[in-house]
A and B are shown apart, each in its own frame.
Chain A
Amino acid sequence: MKASHIIGKAFLALMAFIVLFPIFWTALNAFKVNADILVTTPKFVFEPTFDNIAYVLSRNSVMAALTNSLVISLTSVVIGIALGLPAAYAVARYPNRWTEEIQFFVLSLRFLPPVAVAIPLMVIWLNLGLYDSWTAMIATYSLLTISITIWLAVPAFQQVPKAIEEAARVDGYGAYAVFLKIALPVAMKTLIGAIAFSFVLIWNEFLIALMLTTGKAKTLPIVASEMSQVGMDVPWGILNAAVILLSIPPLLLLGLLSGFMNSMFSNKSR
């Protein structure tokens, strides 16, 4: 093996370390008492405590935020699926002079600064009496989930071999049946990845939630960010525990998303 290869591998190993170590360290700190965290020489050996995790899980606000986050994320993802997948299929399979414009319109929604959407929405939801509610959050997030679902699902539907759909049509399937019974199941593997992406996007969203909630509908990122002070000092252990709790759901989807990336790119070479 060439020396340059060894150096290259060592460098990549260092990069993997830079990715994993800060997260590992945060997880480790979640099991430390403050006295073990606030030391000038980092401690690797310590007596683990479960108090931080227990505190985070025992807070009503955390449980309420967890519920809010799950309900809001899942509902807006479902709306994204219901409205986004059919539209993506139509764009992929029935191209005409409008579909290109539609695709660009969907993409351009991503150009909008979130703050530019959040400020007027705050006023709108206030006027409607819906500020700080699930309805308002779900409606707002649906804009994101629908557009991201379309964006990612168009190539997934394009990858479905046309021959299969043609064969189904010959068998007497109507256009809707082809979508539901052929295209959807064939593309499903890739689509699940796309859906997982839209879930992660909403789960992680911060700015809009910060501006559109003050109490009842607060999501988990907001509550985690508010944990930065409990009692007189920054409760480092508790904050670390909250950060870890917040990060678990997206990380659980890691395998799914990696598979999605593979299928998106592997077919490109065909």
Chain B
Amino acid sequence: MNSRQTLPYTFLVPTILVLMVLAFVPLGYAINISFQDRTLISPNSSYIGFENYIDLFSDRRFKNALWVSFKWEIITVTSTMIAAVGLGVLMFETLKPRTRNLMCLVFLIPVLLPRVSAAFVWSFAFHPLYGIVTYPYRAITGKPLDLLTNPDTALFAVAFVDLWQWGFFFAVIVLKLLESLPPQPLEAARLDYAKTWQIHAFITWPMLKAPLVSLALVKAIESLRSFDLVYIMTRGGPGITTETLDMYAFSQGFIEAGKISYASSMAVIMMVLTVVIFTFIWKRVRT
């Protein structure tokens, strides 16, 4: 056997084996403990069949968490995509290449910040009495503005931080995509005095549709990671209005009662839902 035949195996087999062990052992374990009544506190546990799953469907906090997570996905994905396309096109149309590069550097900063940092930075800014964002409102009305403890605004305030991190980052990607388009059709259209919006609607959009859809999908996947922001900024509150699935699973498994098995059954449902939904969408989009 020559080296060209062996290389794919020596390079792929160990890596894939390691990945499979690291991924499938915990998943198998998650399914296993979800059928038990294991808690952190008590050392004993036994198998209880589907009881955890049955309990979940009469658990109003679980149903609420499903709904909050769904809202979270919709809000963060749409707002990020709108901001990304808007800012990307705006940079493409108004800035010279050198300023563009500088702007890209600036716009990359939020996504690089640890989410813990971003959450704190904005928690300070949103502080009802001392925050810099709430300052204009306080100065004008003389009243405090409490965005994070108001059930109507809390989810949006947290989602705003997600938008702040991802919207600017995706704007940079959209700009890079625009820059990578063949310039001839755009120039031809400009020579024909087409309006800017017409150029983008009729020429760039058809070319960029596919990458933008992929981008939206990537964002949808990344949006599943809402925990850090929610945990730092609201802990799922006020009440349970910002309690997403991962926040609730963490609460059950760690904060409130250490019900690992119950949390595990929730995690299994999440896993099945996301893997099935995203695999389906991904395969469809890609073919």
Contacts and interface: CB of A to CB of B under 8 A. Distances in A.
A231 interface: no
Interface string B91-127: 1011100000101111111101111110011101100
Contact of B268 (A105, A116, A258): A116
Most chain-A Cβ atoms within 10 A of its Cβ — which of B26, B87, B104, B122?
B26
B92 to A, nearest CB: 10
A123 B125 contact: no
A250 B135 CA distance: 30
B150 interface: no
B121 A26 contact: yes
B30 A119 contact: yes
B19 A146 contact: yes
Contacts of A108: 275, 278-279
| Chain A interface size, under 10 / 10 to 19 / 20 to 34 / 35 or more | 35 or more
Interface SS, B side: helix
A207 B227 contact: yes
Contacts, number: 276
List the 10 closest pairs (A to B, CB-CB), nearest first.
Answer: A116-B267, A120-B29, A265-B176, A86-B11, A90-B11, A204-B114, A87-B15, A175-B3, A8-B94, A269-B180
Given A120-B32, A146-B22, 18 more contacts: A8-B94, A21-B132, A23-B109, A23-B113, A37-B130, A94-B7, A102-B12, A112-B23, A115-B250, A115-B253, A115-B263, A119-B249, A119-B263, A120-B33, A150-B15, A179-B7, A254-B108, A265-B179
Interface of B: 2-4, 6-8, 10-12, 14-16, 18-19, 22-23, 25-27, 29-30, 32-33, 38, 87, 90-91, 93-95, 101, 103-110, 112-117, 120-122, 124-125, 129-130, 132-133, 135, 138-139, 164, 168, 172-173, 176-177, 179-182, 221, 224-225, 227-228, 231-232, 245-246, 249-250, 253-254, 260, 263-264, 267-268, 270-271, 274-275, 278-279, 282
